[in-house]
Amino acid sequence: MTTPVAEQVVLAVDIGGTKVEAALVDGFARVRGEVYRRPTGRTSDTTTLPHAIRDVATRALDAAPPGVVVAAVGVGSAGPLDVATGTIHPVNMPAANGLDVVGLLRAIALAPVRLALDGQCIALAESWVGATREAKSSLAMVISTGIGGGLVVDGDVVAGGTGNAGHIGQMLVTERSGQVRMLEELASGPGTVAFARELGWSGTTGEELAAAYANGDTAAVEAVTRSARVVGSAIASAAALLDLDVVVIAGGFSKVTPHYVDDVAEAFRAVVPLPHLRGTRIVKSEIAVQGPLIGAAALALRSLR
């Protein structure tokens, strides 16, 4: 990835299903000052979500040091989205369908705005300052409430014709029973919790599932093992298609056990279809929780080149 100009400062915004965040980020990938956040949620709509976005973006802009001009805005959002119109259509916030986030942020910042999927932003962050810096072809996956992803090939994020490339969570995978289902259904935090409950476990959250796994609960172990197995299988298919050098895994549920990513890598190696793919590395993210904001900043900084 081409290194952005260090002196430039941009506004980075991350719109997710649980919160929206905004911060100023410079060309060294450093968050300048505070990260401002507001809760979102499934009930967020075209009234409440714009209010939350406007609040965090305005507070971040108002906190800019004297003389600092915000040159552009980068925004990553849960998808799908429509880059042609600048609107988002998030599955996890259906009442916010059609929100014009580009127009909203352009009016606030008085600067150009670039929009991409949150998974694409995380992939950009990893290729800039994270685990995929030297890779020619890489995949970033976020395993959390849902499963998202982003692809970077030869330093450029792969957006696709509509801007929605990277939805690996919607890849179809075959379970051992022969049933074909979406990866997100089988391997996300809620999907894994639901499967553990089908097996007789009585908990309700991913945190409780992690504790049960650590205590050797049979249902918890089987459910988490299935999650890692099907993620590894999906990566094998993606690697065959894209000749991936590195796959980086982030997201809260990827920490359900200390060795979850290692288990995914083992599952990948068990099914990888072609000899040249055995060198594909599957690693943990090197970026802390601010990865989506760093990636959104990279998106904005690229627009200034």
- For the beta sheet containing 99-100, the strands, ordered from the edge strand earlier in sequence to the opposite edge, are 81-82, 87-88, 99-100
CATH assignment at residue 152: 3.30.420.40
What range does the domain containing 40 cover?
9-122+289-302
Q: What is the pLDDT of residues 225-279, one digit of tens each?
A: 999 999 999 999 999 999 999 999 998 899 999 999 999 999 999 999 889 999 9
Give the C-alpha separation, 87 to 100, whole Å: 4
Indicate whether 6 pLDDT > 70: no
Average pLDDT, the chain: 93
Indicate the pairing of strand 113-117 with strand 70-77.
parallel
Q: pTM to 2 decimals?
A: 0.89
Indicate whether 129 pLDDT > 80: yes
Q: For residues 45 and 112, state if they share a domain.
A: yes
Which amino acid does the sequence have at 86?
G
Give the C-alpha separation, 289 to 261, whole Å: 17
Task: Place 44 in a pLDDT band, splitting at 50, 70 and 90.
Answer: very high
Q: For residues 111 and 142, state if they share a domain.
A: no
Model pLDDT, residue 37 = 95
Give the C-alpha separation, 33 to 48, whole Å: 26
Q: Output helix, strand, coil percentages for the chain, rounded to the nearest 5.
A: 40, 25, 35
Q: For residues 97 and 38, state if they share a domain.
A: yes
Q: For residues 296 and 264, state if they share a domain.
A: no
Indicate whether 300 pLDDT > 70: yes
Give the C-alpha separation, 118 to 105, whole Å: 16
Contact call for residues 71 and 11 (beta carbons, < 8 A): no
Indicate whether 296 pLDDT > 80: yes
- For the beta sheet containing 137-143, the strands, ordered from the edge strand earlier in sequence to the opposite edge, are 156-157, 147-153, 137-143, 246-250, 281-284
Residue with token string 């719109």 = 15
DSSP assigned state of 65: P
Indicate whether 4 pLDDT > 80: no
Q: For residues 144 and 270, state if they share a domain.
A: yes
